[in-house]
Chain A
Amino acid sequence: MRMGLGQLERRVMDVLWDAPDRSLSGREIADRLPDRAYTTVLTILERLRRKKLVERSSEGRVHTFRAGASRESYLTSLMLEDLGSAVDRNAVLVRFAQTVSPEEASILRQALDASRRRAQ
């Protein structure tokens, strides 16, 4: 069930990200997800709004929804977090390898080659 909701959130976000003017009414979003009921889509939108991934605005009596930011900028923020402030970096655990200086890089490559030759 949890997985199902997560996947549905993803599909709703994809619809919003792929919409040309990036702002859709609940009905328009539901129309693009024909296998889901309108009310289900509204519930998912509300969940995403609570998570601050979707913004809602009202035009007259119609609510329209748009993604908080583009797919690309979310992706960039994830990547920046990886290299960001100390607390955030520790939040996602340091990346696999820090980048090294060119001098260190050539020493490392030599060590690797030497070990490969020994193995052969």
Chain B
Amino acid sequence: MTLTSAAVGLVLVAAVLLGPLSTALAHARWVDASPRAAVALWQALGVSALLSGIGAGLCVAVERYHAGFTGGVAELVESVTSGHPLTGLGLPDALGLTLAADLAVVLCFLLGSVSVRIATTRARHRRLVDLLSLQTHETGAAVLEHDAAVAYCVPGIRPRIVISAGTVELLDEDELAAVVAHERGHAHERHGLVMLPMVCISKIFAFVPYARLAPSSVAGLLEMAADDYAARRQDRGALASALVSMATAGAPPRCSFGLTGGLVSRRVARLLDPPRRSGRVIVGVTGAVAALLVLPVALLLAF
């Protein structure tokens, strides 16, 4: 019975992590001061919930051995390696195993297929940028002959920083250097890799608050992290004015997301008036990340 209650406990933990805690983190504003710490917290929430889910399934599956969690898992492994994995399996055992295996398989498959799709898109995009860019700007960015003001980074082993002729026209020298430094920040800190699992879950688990909120929140936090990277190397004020120029250049958005518009304002505000980075926040986040990763494992080992 104890393992079943452990399973129930783990499911509850996962539900709290993916529900109320995710919603709270999405609405927190302290994150603007420490975007990278907040990204780590989002990642820890997801990993912790995943571990809890897999752990809960395993709990139900090894209940029948009456040997506690570690003993039960050892027996399960032995019965699998000895070639009789399904002997004596009742309905709840089978369901538990199925849940644990399904979660693992679905996530691996999703991560794999979306990764391949994204890698293909990136490769094609890089190739076209190389063929189409008319010149390389003095900052090292490829320039595309297009009037719209855009700047972006195509991640990869050899990332490409792309700006359009419209951007070169719109911004002065300092602003341009700041924008390119921002994009280099994305490339240097491998933000493309951070976003990968986020894109995967947003496709399938949209009914889970975490999967709905984490991708957009993390994307915004990575923009701030790239702003910080640029601000350490180029002029802060130039980056802020570039941000405003670029955000107000095009036609207003047809469908404006409440959060997206707000993001530009938040970024400009923290560039003009940098929030003080508090040591307490860093210590708190580090503690929370450690606790999140240890909690499900500790709960399992206790049984």
Query: Interface with A: B45-53, B88-96, B253-261, which one?
Result: B253-261
CA A51 to CA B179, docked complex, whole Å: 31
- Is B212 an interface residue, CB under 8 A from the partner? no
A102 touches B252 (CB 8 A): yes
Q: Given A78-B144, A92-B154, A119-B237, do A112 and B252 touch, yes or no (CB 8 Å)? A: no
Interface centre among A86, A108, A115 (most CB of B within 10 A): A108
Q: Quick check: B191 and A75 within 8 Å, CB to CB?
A: no
From the candidates A91, A94, A105, A115, name the one contacting B219 in the complex (CB within 8 A): A94
Tell whether, in the assembled complex, residue B125 and residue A91 are in contact, meaning their CB atoms are under 8 Å apart. yes
Residue contact A105 to B247, C-beta cutoff 8 Å: yes
How many residues of B sit at the interface, in one of the four size bands?
A: 35 or more
Q: Which residues of B contact A32 (CB under 8 A)?
A: none
* Chain A: number of interface residues, binned into ranges: 35 or more
Given contacts A87-B118, A94-B152, A95-B152, contact A75 B247 (CB under 8 A): no
CB distance from B95 to the nearest CB of A (A): 33
Q: Which residues of A contact B131 (CB under 8 A)?
A: 9-10, 13, 53, 74
Q: How far is the CA of A119 from the CA of B236 in the complex (A)?
A: 12
| Contact sample, A vs B, 22 pairs, CB 8 Å cutoff | A9-B131, A13-B131, A77-B128, A78-B125, A79-B146, A86-B202, A88-B121, A90-B199, A92-B154, A93-B152, A93-B153, A93-B154, A95-B150, A95-B151, A96-B152, A96-B183, A97-B243, A101-B261, A108-B247, A108-B248, A112-B240, A112-B268
**Interface pairs A-B: 8 shortest CB-CB:** A96-B151, A91-B121, A97-B246, A97-B247, A105-B248, A115-B272, A91-B118, A99-B250
